[in-house]
Homo-oligomer: A and B are copies of this chain.
Amino acid sequence: MADTTTSYSDVMEQIERDFDGSVERLGEFLKLKSISTDPAHDEDTARCAEFAAQMLRDMGFEAEAVQTPGHPMVVAEHPGANPDAPCVLYYGHYDVQPADPVELWDHEAFDPIVIEGEHGPRIVARGAVDDKGQVMTFMEAFRAFKETRGELPCRVKVILEGEEESGSPSLDPFLEANRERLSADICMVSDTGMWDIETPAITTMLRGMVYVEVTVHGPSSDLHSGMYGGAVVNPINELARLIGMIHDDRGRVTFPGFYDGVAPLDHEVKAQWDGLGFDETGFLGAIGLKEGKGEAGYNALERTWCRPTCDANGIFGGYTGKGAKTVIAAHASAKLSCRLVAGQDPQSVLESIREFFESNVHADCRVELESHGCNPSIAVPTDSKWLVSARGALTDVFGRDALLIGTGGSIPAVGSIGEILGIDSLLVGFGLDDDNVHAPNEKFELTCLRNGIRSHAAMLEAFGALSAH
């Protein structure tokens, strides 16, 4: 350990010296309201892309915010010190989720503040960890190398997407059109989590996703519930009944053929996961729960890492203002997402959802289904030289081994980068379970930011010592 550390202690010292600057730059990044799903913030999103490109240019990158049919794609490149060293493509996203429900934030979501928490100072803002803070972990590692040595240990390319939180519609066409420009030996992604604040993790299994909006249409207009109640189908009741049917008594999803192709959990993998010492009571307790709920026969880790699901992410219909309105709504809608695992075909799942709703809905109703995105699950090779190398670097920084874990989340870009560019990804992230991702008071521990920057510096140095192929 001592040897490796020595080789880049200059960079580590620079990271420490400039850490306040890193936090300040992250703060500026977080002020930009790059809510990609909301057209009202299109200009803010474009401004955020330009901000990221300018940061890269300031570090000597050739960088631009490239227009797409959707939000801009930030693309950058920097030569490395060693022409034989590999080229690493860094992927991240500069867009963020909406802040609502805004009234539940303790401070304004786009006015970042640093406050004290149980792990020391943390920065609180929408995007603090997902994904602006994580993007800054590799950006600030680049900066430290540049400040210290004037160069990077290997050739680096960067692609920062602006539509990760809105289904990535422009990503695949962009990758198709820029294969050469984005060619690299490995892709590094920081959009996942650590095992805990002291233990780094490399994510090797990612769930996929199918996200749909279902609308049940009934009467041709809203009706008075006194005049019609009891004699006609009520689209809200009908939608609720159908959503209630999605899970059976054992917590299994009832969409026809949903589990086709899903393999049972491998005994060896299960043994390995059982050895992680996962604290289910703590996992649930942190979010105010005790029992947990899910597919019978699996624990919470298995349910989120390797089992498919269906969750309602939003529901709306009828009168939602204050007080009472005695109306039977003409229609009601829900946003539903399925997390997918290996063996499931997103397109087949989408068709299965359609079949479920159309075959079960009342004859006086019509179902409308809109897809908000479809992507398969991902498995990352666990024996590559990249992973071995990254794992060693993480051990250097943390003084303990990085765990190989799964994650319940989805990063569609990893699939696209593999399929279109032919590049494997390494997923090394620095978030914690209690970071309030997609929720009010999203935060990033400054300890995680610091260790993330240090880890990327160590990994970059380690990659610089590898041969390209």
CA A220 to CA B436, docked complex, whole Å: 11
Indicate with 1 or 0, residue by residue over A324-353, a CB within 8 angstroms of chain B CB atoms. Answer: 111111001011010100000000000000
| A284 on the B face (CB < 8 A) | yes
A304: contacting residue among B229, B237, B329, B373, CB under 8 A: B229
Asked if B290 contacts A226 (CB within 8 A), the reply is no
A311: contacting residue among B237, B246, B300, CB under 8 A: B237
19 examples of A-B residue contacts, CB within 8 angstroms: A167-B323, A209-B226, A219-B289, A220-B288, A222-B439, A223-B438, A225-B339, A227-B304, A230-B308, A230-B339, A231-B283, A232-B292, A237-B246, A290-B364, A291-B363, A293-B362, A315-B316, A315-B320, A324-B337
CA A96 to CA B408, docked complex, whole Å: 48
Q: In the complex, what residues of B have CB within 8 A of residue A328's CB?
A: 311, 313
- The chain B residue sitting closest to A243, CB to CB, is B240
| A134 on the B face (CB < 8 A) | no
7 closest cross-chain pairs (CB), A and B = A226-B409, A244-B244, A220-B288, A230-B309, A240-B243, A314-B318, A241-B244
Among the stretches A98-106, A180-188, A256-264, the one at the interface with B is A98-106
CB distance from A376 to the nearest CB of B (A): 14
CB distance from A96 to the nearest CB of B (A): 11
Q: In the complex, what residues of B have CB within 8 A of residue A294's CB?
A: 230-232
| A303 on the B face (CB < 8 A) | yes
Asked if B225 contacts A39 (CB within 8 A), the reply is no
Tell me the chain A residues, 171-189 only, with Cβ under 8 Å from chain B.
none
CA A66 to CA B327, docked complex, whole Å: 30
Q: In the complex, what residues of B have CB within 8 A of residue A236's CB?
A: 243, 311-315, 334
CB distance from A100 to the nearest CB of B (A): 7
CA A37 to CA B166, docked complex, whole Å: 36
CB distance from A448 to the nearest CB of B (A): 16
Binding site for B on A (CB under 8 A): 37-39, 97-98, 100-101, 104, 165-167, 193, 207, 209, 211, 218-234, 236-237, 239-247, 283-284, 287-295, 300, 303-304, 307-309, 311-329, 332, 334-335, 337, 339, 362-364, 372-373, 407-410, 433, 436-441
Contact A230-B312, Cβ < 8 Å, known A287-B223, A290-B363, A337-B225: no
Residue in A242, A334, A433, A438 whose Cβ sees the most chain B Cβ within 10 Å: A438
Q: A230-B339, A231-B304, A240-B312 are in contact. List 18 more A-B contacts (CB 8 A).
A: A37-B325, A38-B321, A38-B323, A211-B324, A221-B440, A224-B437, A231-B293, A232-B292, A232-B294, A236-B334, A240-B241, A240-B334, A290-B364, A291-B363, A312-B317, A314-B318, A315-B316, A325-B438
